[in-house]
Structure 1
Amino acid sequence: MKFYNSLGPNPRMVRMFMAEKRFTVPKVDVDLRGGENRREPYLKINPSGQLPALELDDGTVLAEITAICEYVDEVKNDTPSLIGETADERARTRMWTRRIDLNIAEPGTNGFRYAEGLKIFQNRIRCIPQAADDLKAVAREKIAWLDALMGDKPFITGAKLTMADILLFAFIDFFKGVGQPLDPACKKLTTWFEAMKARPSAAA
């Protein structure tokens, strides 16, 4: 089994998830900045050219972060599930993971790609520079929306750490380094972020 790793919030999210699950696997670093992921031989491993990817012992390749995390959660079943132990818990985790992915991670990341990251990405993907500011605004608005819903919960879905928390942490931490810092007015998420940052897995 191999984990194809690189810079960026997507691989970091999976590394942090694996660390929480105490799941260890050999890592192969791929040069994202140099575009190694957009050419052979990596394209034979993952035709989408995206990172990360997890190659299983039988040669099967998993290449979407939530799919990789769900696989790890199931096969490493001697540790608490980060998806959920019941149908209700799993549904809430998946609901919030999707909301965070679609409404915060994707628009914020594309806002970066189309602006600060344009020189890196303009020859790799279709970029829409004129959309960058609006996409960043969408992410900010949804972060504020989520902050208002946090209440006294220590984690996104309630009392337990889940995949939703790990996904959001990886992207909020990435955003602050590319001109999209967490608004201090989001007091609940600021407290949550500091608690997440203090977890040993955050260093993965």
Structure 2
Amino acid sequence: MKFYNSIGPNPRVVTMFMAEKGIEIPTVAVDLRGGENRRAPYNADVNPAGQTPALELDNGTTIAEITAICEYLEERFPDPVLIGATAEERANTRMWTRRVDLKICEPLTNGFRYAEGLAFFEPRMRVLPEAAAGLKALAQDGVKWLDALIAGRDFIAGDTLTLADIVLFAFLDFGVSVGQPLDPANANILRWYERVKARPSASAG
């Protein structure tokens, strides 16, 4: 296998996921700042969406999208379990992963793209700078919503770390670095954030 890596929260999700599982896959660095992902051979041979990361399998098939990559790796390397050992556990992890993605990660990321990242992204995609402030507020609303729901538990989907925690941590940590800090009023999220940040996988890659 071959892992196409770059800067950004999306590749970091897979990097953390692999680190939690103790998986080492040969890596190819993709120059995101230089636009390597938006031109051939990457967008012709690896991922036509021009995004990172991507995982090339031994048979030459390429998988993109972070949840699809992590689902594949979970099936290939089931120990330790990060998505679920039963149908119910997997459904629960997928539910929480989808919730944090929709309510927090997507608005946080687009809020950055349309504001602090505008000069970088404007030549590459449609941007809506007028929406930036509202998207950032939506992300903060999502964090506040989640803060109440995780009271009394160590991780988002239950008692152990799952893909939902990895996804949210990678994006919140990115947000902290680009002007979307964590609100100290969300004490449950802050405790959770520090707990995940202390794991060796948070420093992987």
Query: Under TM normalisation by the shorter chain, which class is it?
Result: over 0.9
- 1:72 maps to a residue whose letter is L
Task: Give ranges in structure 1 of 5+ residues lacking alignment.
Answer: none
Structure 2 distance, partners of 1:130, 1:41, is: 34
Classify the secondary structure of the residue corresponding to 1:153.
coil
1:100-129 deviation digits (Å, cap 9, x = unpaired): 111111110000000000111001111000
Pairing of 1:19-58 with structure 2 (within 5 A)? 19-44=19-44, 45-58=46-59
- 1:197 maps to a residue whose letter is K
How far does residue 160 in structure 1 lie from its aligned partner after superposition?
1.1
Pairing of 1:1-204 with structure 2 (within 5 A)? 1-44=1-44, 45-77=46-78, 79-204=79-204
Task: Give ranges in structure 2 of 5+ residues lacking alignment.
Answer: none
Identity of aligned pairs, percent? 65
How far does residue 80 in structure 1 lie from its aligned partner after superposition?
2.0
Structure 1 distance, partners of 2:160, 2:88, is: 13
Structure 1 distance, partners of 2:104, 2:61, is: 30
1:118-155 deviation digits (Å, cap 9, x = unpaired): 11100111100000000000000000000011111000
TM-score by length of structure 1 reads 0.98
Classify the secondary structure of the residue corresponding to 2:74.
helix
Classify the secondary structure of the residue corresponding to 1:107.
helix
TM-score by length of structure 2 reads 0.98
- 1:191 maps to a residue whose letter is R
Structure 2 distance, partners of 1:154, 1:56, is: 34
- 1:71 maps to a residue whose letter is Y
1:154-189 deviation digits (Å, cap 9, x = unpaired): 000110110000000000000001110111111001
- 1:51 maps to a residue whose letter is T
Classify the secondary structure of the residue corresponding to 2:69.
helix
1:49-85 deviation digits (Å, cap 9, x = unpaired): 00000000111100000000010111012x1210001
- 1:171 maps to a residue whose letter is F
- 1:56 maps to a residue whose letter is L
Structure 2 distance, partners of 1:114, 1:189, is: 25
Aligned-residue Cα RMSD (Å) equals 0.6
